[in-house]
Structure 1
Amino acid sequence: MDVVLIALGGTISVRARGQEGRLTGAEITAAVPGLEELDTRLDVRDVRSVPSGSLTFGQILDVVAIAAEAVAAGAGGVVVTQGTDTLEETAFLVDLVWPHEAPFVLTGAMRQPAMAGADGPANVLAAVLVAAAREARGRGALVVLNDEIHAARWVRKTHSTSPATFASPSTGPLGRVVEGRVRMLLDAPRRPPWPADVDRERLDRARVALHVVTLDDDGTQLDGLAATHAGLVVAGFGAGHVPGVLAARLGALAERMPVVLTSRTGSGSVLRHTYQAPGSESDLRRRGLIDGGFLDPYKARVLLRLLLATGSGRAGIEDAFALMG
């Protein structure tokens, strides 16, 4: 089995204090005990070396194109090493456009290679095992850290420093790596992928804002948003609520752009018709906000931007969120 490993930088590539530059993909894999003993041939490629907070949609779509070419040339799986700050978002973007049966696995590290208890080598080993596993085929983009296998659609970074930071609060992990064996415990149905060849100029214009609702929030900071952005994701209280004073402002924006309602809680779905008060989910849906379902605000923003960049209209956006949320 051939697996292509694409290195993008991040904590997993940080050199010891005082040393310049980043570890290359070859250096990262050379530090993984047991990797050479696997029945897997690694094609290691350095694509770029940046903190994940500096990655862009376009750069991730470029990685998808490189991975797709490798699969077309015979690779049976893909591993991407990157920083963990945006990993939940990049994984979801990949999952939305990845059309192949070959697993696309993203991993990283929470502790730098020179730190005691560095987790990068174990995460790379587990990621390669998953990328090469028959059981992982057809499951789209997967996130593998701490010997857990997570679906890109559900995974969240839940802690700022813990090696066990990645979790899927609404579903739990799809599987685990145990004694070098990939054990899939759950099945997550895939949705048809969107085209990956997105027009980059249209992508640049498809700016989507994210507004996290807070106590006594009147939405003043949303003034002028329609002139600079093509869409908005609202992270509401609880099951999808906002202050009553904010509801009318969001309704006015929904007349000019798609506005998607999500929850800021980190897990669970927004509701549709349980509460009726001003600012409730029922009120906001009547005002034209789109139901984000189970999608968290960050993933809803990724989906909305991709939809806008591929020319989806209001009906198509509603259908996509009904399918994905």
Structure 2
Amino acid sequence: MTVQPASAGEGQAAAGLPRVLVLATGGTIAGKADPRSAIGYDAGSATGQQLVEAVPGVDRLAHLQVEQISNIPSQDMNHKVWFRLVERINTAFARHEADAVVITHGTDTMEETAFFLDTVLHHEQPVILTGSMRPGSAISADGPANLYEAVKVAASPQARGRGVLVVLNDTIHAAHWVSKADSTALQTFVSRNAGPVGIVDPAAVRFYGPARVRLALPLPAGEQLPAVDVIYAHADMDGRQIDESVRAGVKGLVIAGMGDGNVSAPAMQALDRAVKAGLVIVRSSHVGDGFVNRNVEVDDDAHHFVASYDLNPQKARLLLQILLAGGVQDVAAVQQAFAFGY
């Protein structure tokens, strides 16, 4: 679908507008109210075309083409949709069909989709993810404003070369740092350890500094990612979950550790068994902020572990999957990728 200008005068003014491809995947932004509770709703009920048509003035920012990639709640997001997105984005830019891409997406897994795309897409053209915390049928729905501002950022020359960005609630985040931090608040996204990279409102797009250097890895072949489990550490932890993951045949484990990536002594013994079984082990943290550095409380060199540095467990899992899919299994090489930029 192409959104046409509202009048001939606007059409003449819009002749030089950038072309933005909107790829819809579902989520709360495409949700509609459900009577099961006062705030109940069903995600993925509206189409991308309906979303765009509900945003006044967005056609004056760019020439829009809308395509539906999926229409699912983001808790059901999966690697098949990710590969479809990569294929469509690569094709659109290779064939000069679009100058930028906006992806509408649910917030639950938005940071994971953004991080995956940021790692395997190697374009200068902007790719922007946006969504909402309230469905379109809610009072003061935030989706229309977020979609408007996402298109505004996508159309901005300043957004080029900055990798994949997340735009919600007047704020621009880089995929590497962005994380959902509140289950219901409109200002749910934060950029851990770094802060947002810019702001946007109906008047302007402003970035705070130059683009960061990004890790660029090849897209895994065969549209598959190896199995990697995330295991949440806690008090009185034993090694059962770790041993079960090894028996299940996973290729790697990410520990959502306590503090700076710690686990109990029994769990540490199980991790050593997992290393002997050939798994790659990454220590992350469930704290939220801060870095997991090498050889602090844990002797990573002796145990042959990888430290996640600033990546949270869900992003550490994705990076390990991409590396393993590309044949990178040497612990030193995996650690080098996690330490990129630091």
**TM-score of the two chains, using structure 2 as the length reference:** 0.87
Alpha-carbon shift at residue 273 of structure 1 (Å): 3.5
Match for residue 82 of structure 2 among 50, 54, 60: 60
Judge conservation of contact 2:254–2:282 (CA < 8 Å) in 1. yes
Does residue 303 (structure 1) correspond to residue 325 (structure 2)? The answer is no
Alpha-carbon shift at residue 268 of structure 1 (Å): 1.0
Supply the AA of the counterpart residue of 1:169.
Answer: R
Judge conservation of contact 2:220–2:326 (CA < 8 Å) in 1. no
Supply the AA of the counterpart residue of 1:152.
Answer: A
Match for residue 58 of structure 2 among 10, 20, 35: 35
Supply the AA of the counterpart residue of 2:305.
Answer: L
CA RMSD of aligned residues (A): 1.9
Judge conservation of contact 1:141–1:151 (CA < 8 Å) in 2. yes
What is the number of residues matched between the two proteins?
315
Match of 1:277 in 2: none
Q: Distance in 2 between matches of 1:249 and 1:324?
A: 31
Match of 1:131 in 2: 154
User: What are the residue-to-residue correspondences of 1:214-293 with 2, within 5 Å?
Assistant: 214-227=234-247, 228-255=249-276, 256-274=278-296, 280-282=297-299, 284-293=300-309
Supply the AA of the counterpart residue of 1:217.
Answer: M
Judge conservation of contact 2:242–2:267 (CA < 8 Å) in 1. no
Does residue 47 (structure 1) correspond to residue 69 (structure 2)? The answer is yes
Does residue 121 (structure 1) correspond to residue 138 (structure 2)? The answer is no
Judge conservation of contact 2:293–2:308 (CA < 8 Å) in 1. no
User: What are the residue-to-residue correspondences of 1:62-77 with 2, within 5 Å?
Assistant: 62-74=84-96, 75-77=98-100
Q: Distance in 2 between matches of 1:134 and 1:14?
A: 31
Q: Distance in 1 between matches of 2:229 and 2:31?
A: 31
> Match of 2:246, SS?
helix
Match of 1:98 in 2: 121
Judge conservation of contact 1:285–1:291 (CA < 8 Å) in 2. no
Q: Distance in 1 between matches of 2:325 and 2:279?
A: 14
Supply the AA of the counterpart residue of 2:182.
Answer: H
Q: Aligned in 2, Cα 1:266/1:188: closer, same or farther, shift over 3 Å? A: farther
Match for residue 143 of structure 1 among 144, 166, 174: 166
Judge conservation of contact 1:251–1:289 (CA < 8 Å) in 2. no
Supply the AA of the counterpart residue of 1:225.
Answer: S
Judge conservation of contact 1:51–1:83 (CA < 8 Å) in 2. yes
Alpha-carbon shift at residue 253 of structure 1 (Å): 1.1
Match for residue 334 of structure 2 among 311, 317, 322: 317
Judge conservation of contact 1:129–1:180 (CA < 8 Å) in 2. no
**Unaligned segments of structure 2, at least 5 residues:** 1-17, 36-40
Does residue 154 (structure 1) correspond to residue 154 (structure 2)? The answer is no
Supply the AA of the counterpart residue of 2:272.
Answer: G
Alpha-carbon shift at residue 305 of structure 1 (Å): 0.8
Tell me the percent identity: 39
